[in-house]
Amino acid sequence: MSYIIESDNIIIEPIATDKSDEVKLSDPKVSVWYADWVIFLKESKTEKTPIGVIRFDGKPELGKLNITFETEEKYRDRGYMSQALKALSNYLFLHKDIYEIIAVVILDNDPALKALTNAHFVYRRTENHDGVKSETYSIIKPASDWSGLYLVIGLIAGLALGIILSNPAVGTITGVLVGFGVGRVMDNRIKKEREQITGTREKS
């Protein structure tokens, strides 16, 4: 599996740091959670400039992954971090154990707040620790919708079957029912996996 992410004019790549434990770095599947995910600006086909970094607070727990991020000052308010957060979120949600990505930022850090909202992170709460106010934002993996996909597949297959049987109505209805049923089974299976990982029960 490639750990390099490309999006428009940036590249995101995990780089091992001295802060990372050697044992963690020995296994690529583990070390990526403790590395710096460096954001590079693609200057040309052969040149790239580091402009920021995203870090994880260790491996995901109960489906949640905490992140921090920072952008080099001269590259702030130019949309690069929003682009990076979007790309990384889409990439991370391919991981079966991640359902929510969380970021906590200082209340008056306007560039960071703007980057989060532009990347579709949603405000969750404001907290006060030792007089320092911070805001928590997160983005949640969309629920699966296999029912809709299989409904369409069933409709097409059923229509074809109906033509073969010289009874389009019966074929279409049969295809729709079978397709919807298969989709519901897959949605319920994914829902149960999600509940097992996050430890929470989702509403039907």
Domain ranges of the chain: 5-140, 146-198
What pLDDT score does 144 carry?
60
Task: Tell if the pTM clears 0.95, that is, is over it.
Answer: no
- Under-50 pLDDT residues of the chain: 1, 22-23, 25
**Protein fold of 5-140:** Aminopeptidase (3.40.630)
**CA 123, 128, 129, 134 torsion: positive or negative?**
positive
Which pLDDT tens digit goes with each residue over 23-62? 454 555 667 888 899 999 988 777 889 999 999 998 888 8
What pLDDT score does 100 carry?
93
What pLDDT score does 97 carry?
83
Measured CA to CA, the distance from residue 104 to residue 39 in angstroms comes to 19
Residue type, 136: T
What pLDDT score does 103 carry?
96
Q: Nearest 5 degrees, angle CA 94-CA 36-CA 22? A: 100
